[in-house]
Amino acid sequence: MLMTQPFLPALLTDLYQFTMSYGYWKAGRARHRACFHLFFRRAPFGGAYALAAGLDSALDFLSALRFDSDVTDYLRSVTGSDGRPIFEDEYLRFLRTEPLDLEIDAVSEGTPVFSNEPLLRVVGPMWLAQIVETPLLNIVNFQTLIATKAARVRQAAGPGGKVLEFGLRRAQGQDGGLSAARAAMIGGCDATSNALAGKLLGVPVKGTHAHSWVMSFDSEEEAFETYVKTQPNNTILLVDTYDTLEGVRKACAVGERLRERGHELAGVRLDSGDLGALSKEARIILDAAGFPNAQIVASSDLDEYEIARLRADGAPIDVWGVGTRLATGGDQAALGGVYKLAAIDDGSGWRRCLKLSSTEIITTNPGIQQVRRWRDGDGTMRADGIGDVTESALAPVEYLVGQTNHRERFALDPAWRAETLLEPVWRGNEPLARTSCVKAIAARARAQLASLPEAHRRLDAPEPYFTGLTPALAETKATMIANVRERATARKG
């Protein structure tokens, strides 16, 4: 968002959402009820799961949604290839006066989620449910991607390591930096360098100084000495401006004088070079100088794989500052979530919809859906099942049907307990009670991930987690596919 311009949430969508909405209005279908599901087809980063995030931000967006005169005046100015307006004034009056009535059910933020299962279910008039597609995807896709990356980095850092989110300067724009910080905290980061995120989200912020501070003084030691005098309780010193190990020695010398004044050297930061070898040498120097509690902070284009490699090599790094590869998603630029129509009601009752493709993973699941998760007696996650909402939540399900070509069956233990994942979060034109505290969501995410078996959380070659269809939905889908193909064959004949 350009800070100098007014923010009009209703225009944060693709133009084709308005052209379709207008088309529904012209065809007399604008008020038909529709059900859309937001989901992704493949888990990011080659993993087996994603961590749901962005819901609270999406609800904030919807709370600000208005089709006021600023919005409709702009839409009136949009023209087609002949230079004439695309939208009629009567449609623009419809936008200004029509109630904004939606029903949204969603997976709680901080929940592990899997391919093809809905993160959000949106039910509402066709004209409106279509327009909100793009912003919902924009918000949920990005934050889910970054929260998942952060969870993987957190896992690589190990139980004793701390992770700081350092990505603002490399993030995708102003809001991208804030959204990335929020999602990173949900995924497991301990603090962020983003001061605005600290203010708005109530999360810890961390930061000391950059190379420019050292370079602005006549000597590195003078820079360190001046800094600890100004910040005696924030004394992580960046030591690699000129010579890293010599910088560590100078930090120790400054630390001794700092100690005489009643404060302690908090640590040193390594931002370049062979972090493994340098951290080992730095640890030796710090310990020999009497600073065994001084921490070693590492940065420099880190991600989960590099952190795991360094830890496996025995690098004595205590804190990991992760920037570009976290705040941007690193090796994966987008989650690839989609928003698909699954049912429509023209006033005569709900009709299930299905998109068919020769690529099986792109064929959608029909009907208004709910997701159930089965856990064993220890609370460990065992399987997820997608079913129609008309199926009773209390009805026993003996097995789930796989969504791949071989259609394997997954037997469910009768002793396992099931829980529903999609819960009401929005009714009418306002949100329901929700958890906005990022710290609480992050704590929930840690607990939820701990209940997912390690085999599904591995960074490399994780075992797939079973997500399938209930037998009833699998049969409905198979029948619909057969009917579509039969009609297509009949038309060809």
| Cα distances (angstroms) measured from residue 223 to each of 229, 232, 264, 266, 419 | 10, 13, 17, 16, 57
| Bridge partners, 79 (sequence order) | 85
Q: What is the pLDDT along the chain (493 residues), one digit of tens a residue?
A: 444 566 899 999 999 999 999 999 999 999 999 999 999 999 999 999 999 999 999 999 999 999 999 999 999 999 999 999 999 999 999 999 999 999 999 999 999 999 999 999 999 999 999 999 999 999 999 999 999 999 999 999 999 999 999 999 999 998 999 999 999 999 999 999 999 999 999 999 999 999 999 999 999 999 999 999 999 999 999 999 999 999 999 999 999 999 999 999 999 999 999 999 999 999 999 999 999 999 999 999 999 999 999 999 999 999 999 999 999 999 899 999 999 999 999 999 999 999 998 888 899 999 999 999 999 999 999 999 999 998 876 678 999 999 876 678 999 999 999 999 999 999 999 999 787 799 999 999 999 999 999 999 999 999 999 999 999 999 999 999 999 988 877 777 6
Residue with tokens 């912003």: 135
pTM of the model: 0.96
Instruction: Return the number of other C-beta atoms located less than 10 Å from residue 73's C-beta.
Output: 10
HEC sequence for 296-352: EEECCCCCHHHHHHHHHCCCCCCEEEECHHHHCCCCCCCCCEEEEEEEEECCCCEEE
Sign of dihedral through CA atoms 340, 142, 121, 23?
A: negative
Supply the pLDDT for residue 1: 44
Cα-only R_g, the chain: 27
Q: Is 158 helix (H, G, I), strand (E, B) or coil?
A: coil
Which residues 6+ apart lie within 8 Å of 228 measured at CB?
235, 237, 254, 255, 258, 263, 265
Give the separation between CA 23 and CA 31, rounded to whole angstroms. Answer: 12
Give the separation between CA 164 and CA 153, rounded to whole angstroms. Answer: 10
Q: Is 467 helix (H, G, I), strand (E, B) or coil?
A: strand
Do residues 235 and 263 touch, judged by C-beta distance below 8 A?
yes
3-state DSSP: the chain helix, strand, coil percent, rounded to 5?
40, 20, 40
Give the separation between CA 95 and CA 89, rounded to whole angstroms. Answer: 10
Q: Of 53, 27, 52, which Cα lies nearest the Cα of 130?
A: 27
Supply the pLDDT for residue 358: 84
Supply the pLDDT for residue 491: 77
